[in-house]
């Protein structure tokens, strides 16, 4: 049982009191920001990055990932009770969740959602445990050309799968790549785009950029949006779903979990798309699809299982290939780099404690979340009454003071403000911030591998195509590039757009 | 089906009064209405021009760094390639993507954001000189009273409470080296 030994050791890591504590802190914060309007998980993780400097890498990542999957649980509560999706991944839950709440069955909806989330999360962790070492083993032979192709594909997928305009997302990604080149060139030592500014000589730090674009940008954007209306949430009674509800939704939970798991692995996939796809699939499968939108339990169970499964499985590309699949993973990638850990195929072998510690912490986290979502749900419903206007200055100050504490540098606070403004303007002009941050994180890796490959190939770019794996990856890259054009041609033949796509308009909250 | 019908009959009056039932389509339409108005194609033109200008600047500077050749790339080659992509995409946005209405118009409440940014700039300018307590107090108060439309009493009480809490957390508990007065 060679395979199981490191997995079991991982539990030892999780059960250290410090790690348990941070796991609890992470999932509570995740649940809170899921419930509270305004900040999404990516923004919260970005704002809390300074907190992770003082702790062990494994502890830090346990907390940050707890925030991420915790938010998937919390986002459900506002969807069901207030018809306001707390997270983009809970948008579809609104349709049936709120309908159930109106029928006085809010408790059932929340209970089923919590059980579905728990099941989805658990399925995905088991999948992660089994699949991750295999993917990592496969990727061990990857050389610079493969990494170049993989990073390019990853950035392109995140840019094209996101909600916004694809052209704009690619522009944002190229800006991220350009920002990554600021500072000393790693090959020649020459300064690039530093404008003779000493603070820029070592390049831009990831933290102020992430805190600015995701954190402050989001806060500024909300400042304008805020309607300040607080609705009284519906009463929640009897959160334990009946045997009948469980039976009705068990199929949906199973299908949603599997679908979510696979969609989460794909770069650019992730929780939002998984929840939409799972809802659409259940509606298509149902004997009487007209029940959906009027309080079908499956309409809550499927997307909630799927989004949690996807949130968990999106760790696979990050931890095994070193390629973040979405914006939140890009920030966790950055957090790992800060800690001196480079995620990649070697991680499972070289740092099994970190790898299995983080993976196994998700079991504990999901159990904690199940407890918080069923018996303690009333506490979180009360938190809904806190006004966003009160939270805004507090989060702003945490951001400003937090970034200062990393390097004791006033320059970093300026950077956060500049990038916060940029993040706000990007949102106003319809640019997704995710591709920029992802491209920034992958920028130096991409350039380094590209230049290494060119050195290996003696300048002959054909070498990328003749190597089998990089060739296939580049082929996929080209297909994804041309897909919009193909779809356009296809759409002329068939003009009926799927209904769910039209509903998927809610601005992605990061 | 019968499930939903049974539930409907038993629904409590409270929830029913608050919000009227909506189908997903109506809900989507309502969310659409709540969103700020679209900016016209001009916003996309402006964004494309700004991005293209950044790309051209990047192009010029990377040529200045030296491009080298594929077998012997110099520092400018990679930024050069990205700048080219950026310019190409901006031109494509200008030509094909102009009509897509995904930008939001600025409104009078956008001034709130400008005011918010101004308070942040003020915070940074003061924090190095006078410590973080006074700027924290003022920033919280302005955000609560003027940007958040809280009551005067609430704003005063909360801004003192927040400042005290930050002092206790950052200075007393964590001893973070943030400039402080006391």
Lowest mean pLDDT across A77-91, A308-322, B12-26: B12-26
Residue % of chain B over a pLDDT of 70: 85
Residue B61: the pLDDT is 93
Do A35 and A81 contact (CB within 8 A), yes or no? no
Higher pLDDT, A485 or A281: A281
pLDDT band at residue B54 under the 50/70/90 scheme = very high
Task: Convert the pLDDT of each residue in A163-195 to its tens digit.
Answer: 678 889 999 999 999 999 999 888 888 889 988
Cβ–Cβ gap B16/A421 under 8 Å: no
In this prediction, residues A307-315 reach a mean pLDDT of: 91
**Res A111 pLDDT > 80:** yes
Q: Judge whether residue A495 has pLDDT over 70.
A: no
Provide mean pLDDT across the span B143-169: 93
CA of A116 vs chain B CAs: smallest distance (Å): 20
Complex prediction ipTM: 0.85
Between these two residues, B124 and B29, which has the higher pLDDT value? B124
Pairing label, strands B72-73, B68-69? antiparallel
State how far residue B181 is from chain A, nearest Cα, in angstroms.
15
Q: Are A66 and A365 in contact (CB under 8 A)?
A: yes
- Residue A224 and residue B110: Cβ atoms within 8 Å? yes
- Measure in Å the smallest separation between the Cα of A109 and chain B Cα atoms: 13
CB–CB of A355/A315 below 8 Å?
Answer: no
Is A236 a residue whose pLDDT tops 50? yes
| Site of tokens 């997704």 | A432
pLDDT at A500: 44
Q: Identify from A216, A397, A509 which residue to disrupt to test chain B contact, counting B C-beta atoms within 10 A and taking the largest count.
A: A397
pLDDT exceeds 80 at position A501:
no
Question: In the predicted model, what is the mean pLDDT of residues B23-49?
Answer: 79
CB contact under 8 A, B24 and A234: no
**Which residues from A are below 8 Å from B113, CB to CB?**
220-221, 223-224, 424
**Contact criterion met (CB < 8 Å) for A104 and B103:** no
From chain A, the residues in CB contact with B117 under 8 A are 220, 417, 420-421
Q: What are the two backbone dihedrals, phi and then psi, of residue B120, each rounded to the nearest 5 degrees?
A: -65, -45
Q: Residue B17's pLDDT is what?
A: 41
- Nearest chain A residue to B8 by CA: give it: A103
What pLDDT, on the 0 to 100 scale, is given for residue A340?
87
Bigger pLDDT: A68 or A228?
A: A68
State what percent of residues in chain A have pLDDT above 90.
38
Using the predicted structure, report yes or no on whether residue A499 has a pLDDT greater than 60.
Answer: no
**Residue A413 with chain B: CB contacts under 8 Å:** 124, 127
Integer Cα distance of A413 and B120 in angstroms: 9
| Tens digit of each residue's pLDDT (9 = 90 or more) over B84-95 | 999 999 999 999
| Nearest residue, CB atoms, B12 vs list A104, A177, A294 | A104
Q: Is A293 in Cβ contact with B24 (below 8 Å)?
A: yes
List the single residue in B with minimal CA-CA distance to A84.
B31
Is there a contact between A212 and A420 (Cβ–Cβ < 8 Å)?
yes
A430 contacts B103? CB cut-off 8 A: yes
Banded model confidence at residue A58, pLDDT cuts 50, 70, 90: very high
Q: Who among B90, B149, B166 is closest to A389 (CB)? A: B149
User: CB-CB: which of A231, A413, A429 is closest to B124?
Assistant: A413
Predicted local confidence at residue B12, as pLDDT? 40
* Partners of residue A164 in chain B, C-beta under 8 Å: 102
Q: What pLDDT shows up at residue B21?
A: 57
Q: Kindly give, in sequence order, each residue whose CB lies less than 8 Å from that of residue A212, ignoring residues fewer than 6 positions away.
A: A415, A416, A417, A418, A419, A420, A421, A422, A423
pLDDT number for residue B177: 81
A74 has a pLDDT exceeding 80: yes
Q: Annotate chain B with three-state secondary structure.
A: CHHHHHHHHCCCHHHHHHCCCCCHHHHHHHHHHHCCCECCHHHHHHHHHHHHHHHHHHHHHHHHHCCEECCEECCCHHHHHHHHHHHHHHHHHHHCCCCCCCCECCCCCHHHHHHHHHHHHHHHHHHHHHCCHHHHHHHHHHHHHHHCCCCHHHHHHHHHHHHHHHHHHHHHHCCCCCCCCC
More confident residue, A488 or A380: A380
pLDDT value at residue A424:
95
Do A359 and A318 touch, CB atoms closer than 8 A? no
């Amino acid at each position: 049982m060679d395979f199981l030994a490191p997995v079991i050791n991982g539990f030892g890591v999780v059960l250290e009191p410090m790690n348990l504590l941070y796991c609890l802190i992470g999932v509570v914060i995740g649940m809170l920001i899921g419930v509270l309007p305004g900040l999404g998980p990516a923004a919260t993780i970005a704002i809390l990055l300074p907190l992770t400097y003082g702790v062990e890498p494994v502890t830090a990542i346990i907390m940050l990932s707890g925030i991420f999957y915790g938010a998937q649980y919390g986002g459900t509560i506002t969807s069901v009770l207030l018809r306001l999706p707390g997270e983009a991944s809970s948008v579809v839950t609104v349709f049936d969740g709120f309908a159930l709440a109106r029928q006085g069955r809010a408790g059932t909806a929340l209970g089923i959602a919590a059980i579905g989330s728990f099941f989805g999360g658990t399925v995905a962790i088991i999948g992660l445990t089994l699949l991750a070492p295999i993917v990592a083993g496969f990727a061990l032979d990857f050389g610079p050309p493969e990494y170049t192709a993989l990073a390019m594909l990853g950035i392109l997928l995140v840019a094209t799968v996101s909600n916004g305009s694809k052209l704009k997302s690619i522009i944002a990604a190229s800006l991220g790549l350009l920002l990554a080149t600021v500072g000393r060139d790693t090959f020649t030592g020459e300064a690039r785009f530093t404008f003779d500014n000493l603070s820029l000589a070592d390049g831009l730090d990831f933290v102020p950029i992430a805190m600015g674009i995701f954190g402050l940008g989001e806060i500024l954007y909300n400042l304008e949006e805020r309607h300040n209306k607080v609705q009284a949430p519906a009463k929640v009674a009897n959160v334990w779903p009946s045997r009948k509800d469980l039976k009705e939704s068990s199929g949906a939970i199973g299908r949603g979990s599997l679908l979510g798991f696979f969609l989460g692995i794909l770069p650019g996939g992730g929780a939002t798309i998984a929840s939409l796809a799972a809802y659409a699939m259940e509606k298509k499968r149902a004997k009487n699809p007209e029940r959906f939108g009027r309080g079908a339990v499956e309409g809550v169970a499927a997307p909630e299982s799927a989004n949690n499964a996807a949130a968990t499985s999106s760790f696979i590309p990050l931890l095994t290939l070193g390629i973040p699949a979405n914006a939140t993973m890009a920030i966790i990638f950055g957090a790992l780099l800060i800690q001196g850990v480079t995620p990649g195929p070697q991680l499972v072998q070289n740092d099994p404690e970190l790898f299995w510690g983080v993976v196994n912490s998700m079991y504990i986290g999901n159990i904690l979340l199940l407890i918080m979502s069923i018996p303690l749900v009333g506490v979180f419903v009360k938190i809904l009454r806190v006004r966003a206007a009160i939270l805004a200055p507090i989060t702003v100050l945490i951001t400003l003071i937090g970034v200062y504490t990393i390097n004791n540098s006033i320059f970093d606070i300026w950077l956060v403000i500049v990038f916060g403004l940029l993040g706000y303007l990007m949102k106003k002009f319809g640019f997704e911030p995710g591709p920029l941050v992802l491209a920034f994180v992958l920028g130096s890796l991409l350039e380094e591998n590209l230049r290494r490959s060119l050195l290996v190939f003696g300048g002959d770019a054909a070498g990328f195509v003749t190597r089998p794996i990089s060739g296939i990856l580049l082929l996929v890259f080209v297909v994804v590039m041309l897909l919009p054009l193909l779809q356009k041609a296809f759409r002329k033949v068939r003009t009926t757009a799927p209904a769910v796509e039209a509903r998927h308009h809610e601005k992605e909250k990061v | 089906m019968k499930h939903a019908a049974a539930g409907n009959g038993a629904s409590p009056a409270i929830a029913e009064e608050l919000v009227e039932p909506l189908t997903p389509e109506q809900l989507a339409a309502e969310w659409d209405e709540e969103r700020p108005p679209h900016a016209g194609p001009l916003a996309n033109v402006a964004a494309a021009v700004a991005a293209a200008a950044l790309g051209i600047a990047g192009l010029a500077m990377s040529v200045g760094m030296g491009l080298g050749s594929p077998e012997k790339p110099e520092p400018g080659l990679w930024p050069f390639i990205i700048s080219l992509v950026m310019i190409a995409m901006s031109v494509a946005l200008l030509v094909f993507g102009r009509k897509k209405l995904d930008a939001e118009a600025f409104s009078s409440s956008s001034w709130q954001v400008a005011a918010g940014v101004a308070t942040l700039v003020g915070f940074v300018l003061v924090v190095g000189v006078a410590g973080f307590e006074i700027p924290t107090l003022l920033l919280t108060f302005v955000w609560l009273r003027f940007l958040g439309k809280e009551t005067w009493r609430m704003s005063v009480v909360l801004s003192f409470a927040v400042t005290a809490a930050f002092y206790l957390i950052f200075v007393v508990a964590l001893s973070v080296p943030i400039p402080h007065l006391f």
